[in-house]
């Protein structure tokens, strides 16, 4: 086979055979396929798309480019969740230990921030000593003994994805649904999962801002994952406002600990955690129905079991043993803090969620280049929610910054992000839709 002929056929809209796709992916890893050829292939897929069979073949080829983990000694199902990214989305920090408390095992391989959205690994890196990229032996040990471990992608899991993503990132092909599907699912299949729940965001803070685009992606993920042997359910959740009342890294970790201990729980955040957890338990045969799964997840959180497992996971991966009980002593804090007031009475009628994410990046809490360091201390807290009634002196949020100049810019961005009106907008649920392939569950 010749790479340029395969690329030409896809460029012209033809369907590729599984062995042609596998040939390209093997060549991408070995170097036989050049970066220019990989970029041309990605652009051809971007414009011509892929059938479901092609997407399954691409996903399997990327899984086969590295090792696949197996979990023969666990006495429960191996489950995971993945989010397409949002603002204030710290769900993983609560969800993994809650599912573990219900009998599941969660080897969660997460990513760093991308564009205006936050990344779970950047949040965890704010915890002193936490090994977000441990060796496979420690990873396996923590999953087996604690029930969950949240880490980053290792070099031997789906290496083709790492190389192809780097090419897509600089060739304006990130948004391709077939390529997004294969990128996400190849890592999850390589982790040896038995069930996966996808959290596909929609709204002005999501990569897919239209419901139609999010629905297309959700359907693709559920169909391709199940076709590749991984039962998967996808939920579409709203990202028209920050999910938590905090946005940043350490501030979201602090928010997660307060949630787990019961000190403070954001209502919509809890709705999404419980919804995703119930689906995970259903896929793992740990619940008789999704409603039963919701009740079990809620019980694990309310009882404090999830908080206890989270603390044990942090300690097992090198973090402080008293992290949950002394979270404020361990997390970094920004030196400049400013409260931002509404300035007028009214209801929060709209929030520029993407603008808040961009402001976090501007504070140093994200990256504009891959090599940039992240300031884990900066961000926003006490963010007002959509529909909330505010008086002139009420907070729309608190800025945590490194300098006075930075806090000035962030305060202006936060003020621009909030629109106040005389009437409350119509309330809407946090979970908007559900997609499941036939063999993925009822």
Among 10, 55, 60, 83, the active-site one is 83
Phi-psi region of 288 (alpha: psi -120 to 50; beta: other; left: phi over 0): alpha
Among 10, 55, 81, 163, the active-site one is 81
Counting beta carbons within 10 angstroms of the beta carbon of residue 149, is it exposed (0 to 12), middle (13 to 18) or buried (19 or more)? buried
For residue 41, give the nearest of 71, 67, 16 by alpha carbon: 16
Among 92, 120, 202, 245, the active-site one is 120
**H or E element in which residue 356 lies:** helix 353-360
- The question of whether 349 is a catalytic residue gets the answer no
- The question of whether 330 is a catalytic residue gets the answer no
- The question of whether 168 is a catalytic residue gets the answer yes
Length of the chain measured in residues:
442
> 3-class DSSP state for residue 85?
coil
- The question of whether 140 is a catalytic residue gets the answer no
d(C-alpha 132, C-alpha 112), whole Å: 11
**H or E element in which residue 397 lies:** strand 395-401
Among 55, 60, 65, 80, the active-site one is 80
d(C-alpha 286, C-alpha 278), whole Å: 9
Among 112, 140, 163, 188, the active-site one is 188
Six-digit token pair at 435?
């997609």
Half-sphere exposure at residue 340, Cβ-oriented, CA atoms within 13 angstroms = 25
- The question of whether 123 is a catalytic residue gets the answer no
Among 123, 162, 187, 201, the active-site one is 187
> Contact, 231 vs 439, CB < 8 A?
yes
- The question of whether 82 is a catalytic residue gets the answer yes
Instruction: Quickly list H helices, 262-289.
Output: 267-283
For residue 206, give the nearest of 196, 192, 217, 195 by alpha carbon: 217
- The question of whether 162 is a catalytic residue gets the answer no
Among 82, 268, 296, 354, the active-site one is 82
- The question of whether 10 is a catalytic residue gets the answer no
Among 132, 183, 233, 237, the active-site one is 183
d(C-alpha 178, C-alpha 227), whole Å: 14
For the chain, the first-to-last Cα distance in angstroms comes to 42
Angle between helices 177-190 and 52-63 (to 10 degrees): 40
Among 10, 163, 168, 354, the active-site one is 168
Catalytic residues: 80-83, 120, 168, 183, 187-188
């Amino acid at each position: 086979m010749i790479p340029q002929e395969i690329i030409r056929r896809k460029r012209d809209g033809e369907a590729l055979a599984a062995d042609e796709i596998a040939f390209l992916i093997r060549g991408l890893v070995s170097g036989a396929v050049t970066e220019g050829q990989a970029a041309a292939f990605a652009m051809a897929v971007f414009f011509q798309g892929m059938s479901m069979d092609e997407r399954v073949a691409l996903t399997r080829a990327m899984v086969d480019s590295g090792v696949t983990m197996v979990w023969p000694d666990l006495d429960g199902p191996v489950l995971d969740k993945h989010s397409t990214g949002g603002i204030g989305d710290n769900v993983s920090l609560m969800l993994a230990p809650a599912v573990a408390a219900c009998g599941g095992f969660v080897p969660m391989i997460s990513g760093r921030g991308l564009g205006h959205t936050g990344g779970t690994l950047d949040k965890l890196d704010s915890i002193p000593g936490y090994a977000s990229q441990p060796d496979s032996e420690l990873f396996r040990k923590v999953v087996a003994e604690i029930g969950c471990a949240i880490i980053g992608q290792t070099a031997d899991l789906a290496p083709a994805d790492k190389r192809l993503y780097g090419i897509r990132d600089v060739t304006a092909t990130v948004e391709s649904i077939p390529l997004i599907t294969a990128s996400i699912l190849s890592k999850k299949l390589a982790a040896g999962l038995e069930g996966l729940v996808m959290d596909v965001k929609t709204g002005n803070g999501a990569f897919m801002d239209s419901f139609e685009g999010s629905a297309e992606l959700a359907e693709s993920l559920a169909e391709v994952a199940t076709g590749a042997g991984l039962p998967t359910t996808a939920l579409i959740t709203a990202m028209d406002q920050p999910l938590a009342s905090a946005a940043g890294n350490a501030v979201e970790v602090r928010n997660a600990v307060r949630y787990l201990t019961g000190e403070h729980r954001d209502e919509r955040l809890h709705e999404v955690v419980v919804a995703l957890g119930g689906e995970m338990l259903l896929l793992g045969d740990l619940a008789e129905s999704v409603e039963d799964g919701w009740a079990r997840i809620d019980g694990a959180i309310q009882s404090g079991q999830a908080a206890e497992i989270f603390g044990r996971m942090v300690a097992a991966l090198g973090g402080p043993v008293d992290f949950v009980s002394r979270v404020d002593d361990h997390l970094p804090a920004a030196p400049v803090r400013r409260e931002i007031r509404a300035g007028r009475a009214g209801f929060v009628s709209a929030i520029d969620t993407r603008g808040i994410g961009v402001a976090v990046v501007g504070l140093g809490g994200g990256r504009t280049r891959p090599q940039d360091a992240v300031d884990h201390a900066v961000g926003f807290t006490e963010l007002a929610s959509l529909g909330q009634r505010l008086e002139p002196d009420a907070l729309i949020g608190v800025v945590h910054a490194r300098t006075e100049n930075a806090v000035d810019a962030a305060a202006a961005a936060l003020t621009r992000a909030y629109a106040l009106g005389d009437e409350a907008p119509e309330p809407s649920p946090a979970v908007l839709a559900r997609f499941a392939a036939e063999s993925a569950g009822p």
